């Protein structure tokens, strides 16, 4: 097979992969605490008989954009955002610790604290369970305090503290469930320097305008590769016809 056709075919395939990543970013532009996935095209030589005189591009995942998204004020006592770097620790479906920036919390029917994706939020001692209350306050250090029914307004009881960690971003990767994990599989250590702001949420850091421009670029790149594939096919037919004439 002519390497020309192979390169064009690979270009179309990699454009589709990049478009899939970009589409996922756009789909999560309104997801609280979402971190955009980055694309990175790397040159890869085509090896075979002789010298590697052709090079194609491969879409290699470049991880996530960990920059902070814009803040939104909600005034809701169960909405919290992390100031600067850091992560909430949530429980995955297999029971392991994973990391999220999503701070739109709520209580399920059993009083267990969950985020907007219905993932269990972990505290210092595991899942956080909150009894019935008349008022609730989440402090800057993640401490959850409540005033129980019938108690005076000045009576606050500390129930638990949200587990906050700040592992090295280079050691994190995003799983298929959208949650981040450490590459070594070990739980991250608590970080007492992380602070929260109550009554606010961190929006997605996806730049929708840039993503839309990128979508058009990937579409044009895909169309170009398809045209090159058709050109390679036409050249092959023309060569075959010349061979017949010469024969």
Looking at the DSSP bridge assignments, the partners of residue 126 are 123
Please check whether residue 203 is in contact with residue 32, taking contact to mean a CB–CB distance below 8 angstroms: yes
pLDDT, one tens digit per residue, over 106-135 is 999 999 999 999 999 999 889 999 998 889
- Please determine, for residue 151, whether its predicted confidence score (pLDDT) is greater than 90: no
What is the CA angle 121-126-128, rounded to 5?
Answer: 50
How many whole angstroms separate alpha carbon 214 and alpha carbon 220?
A: 10
pLDDT in tens, 180-221: 999 998 999 999 999 999 999 999 999 999 999 999 998 998
User: Which tokens belong to 226?
Assistant: 């398809």
The 8-class DSSP code of residue 187 comes to: P
Pull the structure tokens for residue 219.
């579409």
Residue 186 CA to residue 234 CA, distance in Å, equals: 56
Least confident of 125-129, 131-135, 146-150, 231-235: 231-235
d(CA 83, CA 134): 27
Inter-residue contact 100 to 115 (CB < 8 Å): yes
Other beta carbons within 10 angstroms of residue 174's beta carbon come to 16
Please give the Cα distance from 60 to 221 (Å, whole number): 17
Distance CA 61, CA 183 (A): 15
Please name which of 81, 38, 76 lies closest in space to residue 60, comparing C-alpha atoms. 38
Spatial contact of 121 and 128, defined as CB atoms under 8 Å apart: yes
Mean pLDDT of 59-80: 90
Q: Where are the domains of the chain?
A: 3-66+206-246, 71-202
User: What pLDDT is attached to residue 17?
Assistant: 86
Token representation of residue 217: 């670029």
Which pTM value belongs to this model?
Answer: 0.82
Strand 120-123 versus strand 126-127 pairing type: antiparallel
Token pair belonging to 51: 């010298």
């Amino acid at each position: 097979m002519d390497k020309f056709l192979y390169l064009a075919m690979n270009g179309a395939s990699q454009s589709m992969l990049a478009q899939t990543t970009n589409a996922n970013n756009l789909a999560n532009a309104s997801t609280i605490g979402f971190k955009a996935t980055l694309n990175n095209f790397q040159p890869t030589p085509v090896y075979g008989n002789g010298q590697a005189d052709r090079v194609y591009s491969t879409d290699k995942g470049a991880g996530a954009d960990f920059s902070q998204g814009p803040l939104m004020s909600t005034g809701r006592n169960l909405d919290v955002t992390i100031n600067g770097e850091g992560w909430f620790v949530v429980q995955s479906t297999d029971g392991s610790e994973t990391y999220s920036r999503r701070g739109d919390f709520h209580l399920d029917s059993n009083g267990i604290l969950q985020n907007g994706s219905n993932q269990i939020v972990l505290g210092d001692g595991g899942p956080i369970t909150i009894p019935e209350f008349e008022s609730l306050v989440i402090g800057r250090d993640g401490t959850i305090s409540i005033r129980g029914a019938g108690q005076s307004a000045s009576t606050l009881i500390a129930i638990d503290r949200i587990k906050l960690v700040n592992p090295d971003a280079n050691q994190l990767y995003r799983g298929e469930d959208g949650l981040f994990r450490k590459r070594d599989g070990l739980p991250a250590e608590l970080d007492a320097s992380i602070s929260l702001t109550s009554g606010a949420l961190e929006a997605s850091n996806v730049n929708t305008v840039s993503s839309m421009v990128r979508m058009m670029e990937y579409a044009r790149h895909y169309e170009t590769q398809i045209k090159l594939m058709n050109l390679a096919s036409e050249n092959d037919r023309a060569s075959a016809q010349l061979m017949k004439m010469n024969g």
